[in-house]
């Protein structure tokens, strides 16, 4: 992933005739990926033209774009944000300052390799593989990771690089969204909206980096002979200050900073002069300290809400209904007695909370509750269960949702789950209409696993985010 200029770009648009008969100019200032993508395509085209004699592959073009991109500064972290994320095990100020540049780059998770630099692409004389380091997840349980880096010098003169580490901001993977509680979106009377992607960022790195040659000797520079190649090793690990249960996305850049040749040598030899134009190379890396299955689907600070009979929304501001379960099925239970069943006289339901809202199933004030949940990431599977509070929380069945994974609305609003008043009865094996009584919902969102977390087998236990709605009452009228 790359960033490129795409804001307020003068672009062509269809010419239209205005109401007064005049015509538009056919130009307008536009912003977005539709403007930045042509910039990247043009940079790739220029690189292909400059290297057409080398039969450059698509992978080499991608590597050239990534390696010569410039990291973007992180302008988001504030002192308040750092304080809010202190539970992520922040380092001491001395430790943070020691491993952080004056302007900490934004996380690779947010900006990718950085912003495209066409001039750097044109003057780069070194091919480096791999061009990015994917660390995977579960790093706290895997130890240090070592990568072999192969550098090829296409110039006739030797090039020396200093090997550096540029740490990027660290993202708290537990809370990936920030909810604005003052503005509405996603439907009438909804007073909550989340930023599309607004994680808490800590303005310092969480990784350690060491360099060595193929003989395992520590190095801080590497010299590539003219038309030659060199292999060196990069070892990355998690910083000592990171707590064992931290859910952090760490990232940064392995930097190859060219050492300028002597001015006299550059003036006397055109090959050395060409090598003197070599730009720095930035190899982005990213990984997660915890397994990706530990990153919640439901927003921990505000998992969901429910509409009341007037259409206003109640929100679980304290996340009291949020819990984490596994992927096991609910315990089997006998069906609740029908309204006319004599067993009602002998029923001894477990104590349940009093209903928060009451809805009429018929009449002029008929209404049903709707649910809203904030999704930080798409779930691997989802389920909406209906339970009877009248009969001690007995599981009745499930409400049909889409067969495809649910996704976050693009505008940051919560995902709305409407209910038609029916559910699939697990005992009768058919869809039935709900009857008067006290009920509550349990929203279950199974977290996606990742390949580094291990294969998912039939016996695997996968975390499931559960949100339990308030108890509500359904009456006939």
Each residue's pLDDT tens digit, 134-169:
999 889 988 899 999 999 999 999 999 999 999 999
Q: How many CB atoms lie within 10 A of CB 423?
A: 21
The pLDDT assigned to 177 comes to 79
Spans of the chain below 70 pLDDT: 76-103, 182-191, 196, 327-350, 402-405, 450-460
Residue 403 to residue 425: CA distance in whole angstroms: 18
- Tens digits of residue pLDDT in 286-329: 999 998 888 899 999 899 999 999 888 899 999 999 999 876 66
Q: Which of 407, 398, 324, 321 is nearest to 356 (CA)?
A: 321
Contact present, 382 and 466 (Cβ < 8 Å)? no
Check residue 101 and give its pLDDT: 39
Query: Distance between CA atoms of 3 and 83, rounded to whole angstroms?
Result: 29
Q: Where are the alpha helices (DSSP H) in 100-171?
A: 108-111, 118-123
Predicted local confidence at residue 213, as pLDDT: 96
Distance separating alpha carbons of residues 218 and 52, to the nearest angstrom: 38
Bridge partners of 163, per DSSP, are: 256
Can you give the pLDDT at residue 233? 98
| Residue 87, pLDDT score | 42
Contacts of 459 (CB under 8 A, 6+ apart): none
Pairing of strands 281-288, 133-136: parallel
Cα 371 to chain center, whole Å?
24
303 touches 290 (CB < 8 A): no
Q: Which residues fall within 8 angstroms of residue 408, CB to CB, at 6 or more apart? A: 375, 376, 377, 378, 415
Q: Using only the alpha carbons of the chain, give its radius of gyration.
A: 29
User: Dihedral (C-alpha) 449, 451, 457, 461: value to the nearest 10 degrees?
Assistant: -30
Look up the pTM and report it.
0.78
């Amino acid at each position: 992933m790359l960033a490129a200029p795409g804001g307020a770009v003068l672009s062509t648009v269809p010419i239209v005739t205005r109401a007064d008969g005049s015509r538009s100019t056919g130009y307008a200032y536009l912003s977005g990926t539709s403007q930045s993508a042509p910039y990247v395509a043009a940079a790739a085209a220029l690189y292909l033209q400059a290297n057409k004699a080398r039969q450059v592959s698509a992978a080499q073009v991608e590597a050239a774009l990534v390696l010569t991109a410039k990291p973007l500064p992180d302008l988001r972290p504030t002192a308040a944000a750092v304080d809010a994320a202190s539970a992520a095990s922040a380092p001491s100020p001395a430790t943070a300052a020691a491993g952080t540049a004056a302007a900490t780059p934004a996380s690779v998770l947010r900006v990718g390799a950085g912003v495209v630099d066409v001039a750097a692409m044109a003057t780069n004389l070194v091919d480096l593989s791999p061009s990015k380091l994917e660390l995977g997840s579960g790093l706290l349980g895997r130890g240090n990771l070592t990568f072999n880096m192969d550098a090829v010098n296409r110039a006739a003169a030797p090039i020396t690089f200093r090997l550096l580490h540029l740490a990027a901001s660290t993202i708290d993977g537990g809370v990936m969204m920030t909810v604005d509680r003052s503005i509405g979106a996603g439907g009438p009377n909804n007073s909550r909206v989340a930023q599309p992607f607004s994680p808490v960022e800590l303005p310092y790195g969480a990784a350690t980096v060491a360099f060595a040659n193929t003989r395992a000797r520590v190095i801080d520079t590497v010299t590539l002979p003219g038309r030659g190649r060199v292999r060196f090793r990069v070892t990355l690990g998690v910083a000592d200050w990171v707590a064992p249960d931290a859910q952090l996305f760490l990232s940064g850049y392995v930097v190859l900073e060219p050492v300028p040749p002597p001015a006299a040598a550059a003036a006397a030899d055109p090959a050395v002069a060409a090598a003197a134009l070599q730009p720095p190379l930035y190899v982005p890396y990213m990984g997660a300290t915890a397994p990706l299955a530990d990153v919640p689907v439901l927003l921990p600070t505000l998992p969901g809400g429910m509409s009341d009979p007037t259409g206003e929304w109640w929100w679980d501001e304290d996340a009291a209904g949020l819990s984490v379960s596994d992927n096991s099925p609910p315990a089997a239970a006998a069906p609740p007695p029908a309204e006319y069943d004599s067993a009602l006289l002998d029923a001894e339901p477990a104590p349940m909370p009093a209903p928060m809202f009451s809805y009429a199933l018929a009449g002029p004030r008929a209404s049903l509750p709707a649910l809203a949940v904030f999704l930080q990431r798409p779930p691997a599977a989802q389920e909406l269960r209906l339970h009877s509070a009248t009969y001690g929380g007995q599981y009745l069945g499930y409400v049909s949702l889409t067969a495809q994974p649910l996704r976050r609305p693009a505008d940051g609003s919560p995902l709305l789950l409407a209910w038609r008043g029916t559910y699939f009865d697990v005992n009768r094996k058919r869809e039935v209409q709900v009857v008067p009584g006290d009920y509550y919902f349990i929203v279950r969102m199974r977290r996606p696993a990742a390949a580094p977390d291990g294969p998912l087998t039939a016996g695997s236990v996968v975390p499931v985010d559960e949100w339990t709605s308030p108890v509500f009452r359904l009456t006939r009228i």
